[in-house]
Amino acid sequence: MKNKSVIIVLGFFLLISLIFNYQYFQRYQEDKRAFEVYSNELVYELYLLIQQTEALIEVDSTGERFAINMMDLTSRFDRMDYLLRRSPIFIKEVNGSVFSYFYVTSSLMKSGYSDPQTPPFYLDLELTTYERQFLIDLVELMKEAYEQLTTPEEPSELNPELSPEDFKNVISEYIDITNTYDNRFNPILEKYVDGFKNS
């Protein structure tokens, strides 16, 4: 009788353990799938943003065509910023919202910079020398992040070797500018503002 009770209790604990393990496994699979979908979308959007920025730099559009191209590019920067702000939803390793240079660049292109006063990019209806150089430098920074996230074999998808923690580290090092003075974007912005101020 005593052995039967022990077997029933052990069976009960085994059943509870199996239920919790199954739920944990399901949650793990859901988290993994969410990370894969989100990160691949972000990598693809970054690829498109790089392509579109390079096209604006290389094609000397002016007037209305330039304004349309600039609005399209600004929308692409806004989309990247939106994706990055949503990263904590899909990647539990990201603790807070990401403040990206995509947001700052979009604001700069639409509204200019306030200290010192620099005009928005579209004001001259063509890229100025300083705006062009800013975008060239920015493309290099975006490419560095892109190369960290992808492999040459699959350039439009996330490197399958990267864990969510690795992904977070790349975003922190190459894209997040929460720490204003210790990021890769700040020197690019300062160079643009100084060049404009001294012109």
Residue 10 lies in a domain: no
Q: Flag the least confident range among 33-47, 56-70, 89-103, 182-196.
A: 89-103
- How large is the greatest C-alpha to C-alpha distance in the chain, in angstroms? 94
Q: Between 147 and 14, whose confidence is greater?
A: 147
Residue 187 lies in a domain: yes
Q: Between 105 and 176, whose confidence is greater?
A: 105
Tell me phi and psi for residue 115, to 5 degrees: -135, 95
Tokens of 6: 């022990």
Whole-number Å distance between alpha carbons of 96 and 118? 31
Q: Between 12 and 195, whose confidence is greater?
A: 195
Q: Residue 1 has what pLDDT?
A: 59
Residue 134: exposed, middle, or buried by beta-carbon count in 10 A (0-12, 13-18, 19+)? buried
Average pLDDT value for residue range 175-185 = 74
The C-alpha angle with vertex 135 and arms to 182 and 181, in degrees rounded to 5, equals 10
- Of 98, 77, 101, the closest CA to residue 86 belongs to 98
Q: Residue 96 has what pLDDT?
A: 65
Residue 58 lies in a domain: yes
Residue 18 has pLDDT above 80, yes or no: no
Tokens of 163: 């864990």
Residue 2 lies in a domain: no
Residue 150 has pLDDT above 60, yes or no: yes
Q: What SS3 class is residue 162? A: coil
Contacts of 130 (CB under 8 A, 6+ apart): 192, 195, 196, 199
Residue 86 lies in a domain: yes
Query: Which domain range does residue 106 map to?
Result: 32-197
Residue count (the chain):
199
Residue 180 has pLDDT above 60, yes or no: no
Q: Quick: pLDDT tens for 56-95.
A: 999 888 888 998 999 999 999 999 999 988 888 877 766 6
Residue 74 lies in a domain: yes
Give the other-Cβ count within 10 Å of 25's Cβ: 10
Residue 9 lies in a domain: no
Residue 21 lies in a domain: no
Looking at the structure of the chain, the number of domains it has is: 1
